[in-house]
Amino acid sequence: MAGQSKLSSEATQVLIQEMRSPSARDYDLTAREKEILKLMVDGLPNTEIADKLGVSPSTAKFHVSNVLSKLGVASRTEAVSLALKQKLVK
């Protein structure tokens, strides 16, 4: 093998699939979570998200926390950055 690495065809397929379109799976966000993410991208804080959606601030905070968890990020800034890079919102 002359010092070169070799991947199995199965591993290659998994890598190709992940590289092609990670946004296609939308990180399993619900329709409401996608709506929340869009509002986060627009720069709205939890209180304004709550007002816009007609829910309590604690409900908005709960949804934001779910979005962060599903995206695997620790902050709103990271979530917005990922959403824009992966084109998760329109």
Give the pLDDT confidence score for residue 6 in this predicted structure.
82
Would you place residue 75 in the very low, low, confident or very high pLDDT band (cuts 50, 70, 90)? very high
Structure tokens at 5: 């690495």
Q: What is the pLDDT of residue 25?
A: 58
Residue 7 main-chain phi, psi, to 5 deg: -105, 150
Question: Residue range 58-64: average pLDDT?
Answer: 97
CATH fold of 31-86 reads: Arc Repressor Mutant, subunit A (1.10.10)
pTM above 0.75, yes or no: no
Helices 31-41 & 76-85 angle (0-180, nearest 10):
100
Surface-to-core class of residue 88, CB atoms within 10 Å of its CB (0-12 exposed, 13-18 middle, 19+ buried): buried
pLDDT of residue 24: 45
Domain ranges of the chain: 31-86
Task: Return the pLDDT at 22.
Answer: 53
Question: Within 13 A of 66's CA, how many CA atoms are on the CB side?
Answer: 16
